[in-house]
């Protein structure tokens, strides 16, 4: 590791940067490597989510700065910004910024214009589209010489270089709210506060999804939930909406229905994005295995599932849920994806004809009426208190280093990475006083205090 790379890795680690567009993989680990290509995931993959697009429009200089830092650290001679061609205004802004040799320091950075399909932001799919390389099943892009980070992560890397920890998050609110918004809020802002910024719910019987309609999760109790570093959006939909019903369905009932109704048409496999890359993932066989006695070996393929939801929301003519079945199986298995049988790593010749257009997917999900891209809110969010999750990232939860009653400042470390563990630091996003600490989160009440 070079001295400059070591310095960047330490700054990113100190700032608590995690993958802001997915499961929250600690970014300092990803940067401790060598690669020939750095790829910004600006696909804004999930339908209705648009925060990354607005961030690239308003903070493009910071994102390009972060990209340059990563290129230098991993020794990459080239980089790409992956963004859908439909975002013409954003593209124009980025192209103008990249034409500035002072900003780019003459690095070789290009824009990869993507088609508007789902899941274009799946990093395995994006790497293949942009570079032609295929990430091994159960593997990561680094195995083919590519570092992938989303736009907000690159923004946070730039800030980390300047000594600023992750204390805020850009997200959008869509669906059954009075006014859809894009807003930047302190990490830990109560979901109820964000919904108030959007004018509140139009209907009292709505449920709230943290994330997008395909891969997001329904919050059990929005009044007790908080924005995390990985909260890219909040989607508000009526309880009876098909997207909500699919997410709150009882898994045991889904298993029983699968055993009775799966007709083995194999459409879930034919349209699976990972199968299209040659990965040994065949959802229809996993579904069939539920009717067989014992733990059939084919179920191990579920570990390769990205849980994009194409199989259940688009492919299955019976209205079954291969994704939910895969998720349940993954929770039961104790082996790594790389231990699953080999694969023919070749892109399927029909891949381009099996893409799922986002507009058609929105129509299928009955979400077209919510597909708007509002202007960012000018006024910053100002919550009375924040709830700082200790474990909403891949790896071990952070260990609290503050106690109830203590005064904390903006940016102060309140959760530390456990010794010799994979994890990420947690920082206070407000100045105030700690009012509660438990194994899940730290509550800080905002107040003016003498420090």
Residue 189's domain is classified under what CATH number? 3.10.20.600
pLDDT at position 316 is 95
Neighbours of 51 (CB within 10 A): 24
- Domain with residue 399: its CATH number is 2.40.50
What size, in residues, is the chain? Answer: 451
For strands 37-41 and 206-210, give the pairing. Answer: unpaired
Q: Per the domain annotation, does 374 fall within a domain?
A: no
Q: For the purposes of burial, counting CB atoms within 10 Å of the CB of 54, is it exposed (0-12), middle (13-18) or buried (19 or more)?
A: buried
Contact call for residues 174 and 241 (beta carbons, < 8 A): no
Contact call for residues 190 and 225 (beta carbons, < 8 A): yes
pLDDT along the chain (451 residues), means of 10: 88 95 88 94 92 95 97 96 96 97 94 96 95 93 95 97 97 96 96 96 95 95 96 97 94 91 96 95 94 85 94 94 92 65 75 95 97 84 95 94 97 96 96 96 88 58
CA distance 180 to 372: 8
Please check whether residues 233 and 348 belong to one and the same domain. Answer: no
Final residue belonging to a domain, choices 333, 364, 395: 364
Please check whether residues 325 and 198 belong to one and the same domain. Answer: no
Please check whether residues 323 and 393 belong to one and the same domain. Answer: no
DSSP characters for 25-79?
Answer: -BHHHHTSS--SEEEEE----STT--HHHHHHHHSHHHHHHHHHHHHHHHT-SEE
pLDDT tens for 361-394 read: 999 999 999 999 898 887 778 899 999 999 989 9
Please check whether residues 48 and 73 belong to one and the same domain. Answer: yes
Final residue belonging to a domain, choices 300, 331, 364: 364
Q: Per the domain annotation, does 375 fall within a domain?
A: no
Please check whether residues 120 and 204 belong to one and the same domain. Answer: no
Q: Per the domain annotation, does 377 fall within a domain?
A: no
Q: Per the domain annotation, does 205 fall within a domain?
A: yes
- Furthest-apart CA atoms within the chain: distance in Å: 67
Q: Per the domain annotation, does 378 fall within a domain?
A: no
Please check whether residues 189 and 80 belong to one and the same domain. Answer: no
- Total domains in the fold of the chain: 4
CA distance 32 to 9: 7
- Domain with residue 74: its CATH number is 3.40.50.11540
Residue partners of 252: CB distance under 8 A and separation at least 6: none
Q: Which domain holds residue 77?
A: 3-161
Please check whether residues 11 and 154 belong to one and the same domain. Answer: yes
Which pair of structure tokens corresponds to residue 82?
């992956």
Please check whether residues 235 and 252 belong to one and the same domain. Answer: no
Instruction: Count CA atoms within 13 Å of residue 155 on its CB side.
Output: 24
pTM above 0.85, yes or no: yes
Please check whether residues 228 and 254 belong to one and the same domain. Answer: no
Q: Residues of 220-243 as b/e, b for ≥16 C-beta within 10 angstroms?
A: eebeebbbbbbbbbbbbbbeebeb
Please check whether residues 138 and 27 belong to one and the same domain. Answer: yes
Q: Per the domain annotation, does 177 fall within a domain?
A: yes
Final residue belonging to a domain, choices 206, 241, 276: 241
pLDDT at position 339 is 52
Percent of the chain with pLDDT over 70: 97
pLDDT at position 98 is 97
Please check whether residues 278 and 348 belong to one and the same domain. Answer: yes
Q: Per the domain annotation, does 379 fall within a domain?
A: no
Please check whether residues 185 and 272 belong to one and the same domain. Answer: no
Q: Per the domain annotation, does 32 fall within a domain?
A: yes
């Amino acid at each position: 590791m070079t001295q400059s790379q070591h310095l960047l890795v330490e700054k990113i680690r100190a700032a608590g940067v995690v993958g802001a567009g997915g499961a929250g993989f600690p970014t300092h680990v990803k940067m401790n490597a060598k690669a020939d290509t750095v790829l910004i995931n600006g696909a804004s993959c999930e339908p209705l989510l648009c925060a990354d697009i607005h961030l690239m429009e308003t903070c493009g200089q910071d994102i390009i700065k972060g990209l340059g830092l990563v290129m230098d650290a991993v020794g990459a001679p080239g980089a790409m910004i992956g963004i859908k061609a439909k975002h013409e205004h954003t593209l124009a802004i980025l192209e103008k910024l990249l034409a500035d040799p002072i900003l780019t320091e003459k690095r070789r950075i290009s824009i990869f214009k993507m088609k508007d399909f789902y899941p274009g932001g799946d990093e395995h799919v994006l790497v293949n589209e942009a570079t032609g390389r295929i990430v091994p099943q159960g593997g990561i892009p680094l195995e083919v010489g590519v570092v992938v980070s989303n736009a907000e992560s690159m923004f946070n890397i730039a800030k980390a270089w300047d000594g600023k920890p992750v204390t805020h998050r850009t997200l959008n609110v869509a669906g059954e709210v009075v006014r859809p918004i894009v807003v930047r809020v302190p990490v830990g802002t109560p979901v109820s506060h964000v919904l108030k910024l959007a004018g509140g719910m139009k209907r009292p019987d709505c449920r709230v999804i943290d994330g997008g309609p395909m891969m997001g999760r329904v919050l059990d109790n929005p009044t007790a939930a908080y924005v995390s570093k990985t909260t890219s959006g909040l989607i508000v939909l009526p309880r009876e909406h098909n997207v909500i019903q699919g997410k709150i369905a009882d898994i045991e009932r889904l298993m029983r229905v699968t055993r009775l109704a799966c007709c083995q048409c194999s459409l879930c496999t034919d349209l699976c994005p990972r199968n299209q890359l040659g990965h040994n993932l065949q959802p229809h066989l996993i579904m069939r295995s539920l009717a067989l006695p014992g733990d059939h070996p084919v179920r191990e393929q579920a570990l390769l599932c990205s849980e994009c939801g194409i199989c259940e929301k688009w492919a299955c003519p019976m209205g079954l849920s291969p994704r939910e079945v895969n998720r349940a199986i993954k929770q039961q298995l104790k082996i790594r994806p790389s231990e699953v049988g080999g694969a023919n790593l070749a892109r399927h010749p029909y891949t381009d004809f099996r893409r799922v257009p986002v507009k058609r997917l929105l129509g299928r999900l009955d979400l077209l009426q919510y597909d708007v891209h509002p202007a960012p809110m000018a006024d910053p969010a100002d919550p009375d208190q924040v709830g700082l999750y200790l474990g909403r990232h891949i790896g071990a939860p952070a260990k609290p280093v503050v106690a109830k009653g203590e005064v904390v400042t903006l940016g102060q470390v309140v959760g530390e990475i456990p010794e010799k563990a994979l994890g990420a630091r947690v920082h206070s996003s407000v100045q105030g006083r700690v009012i509660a600490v438990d194994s899940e989160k730290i509550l800080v009440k905002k107040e003016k205090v003498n420090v």
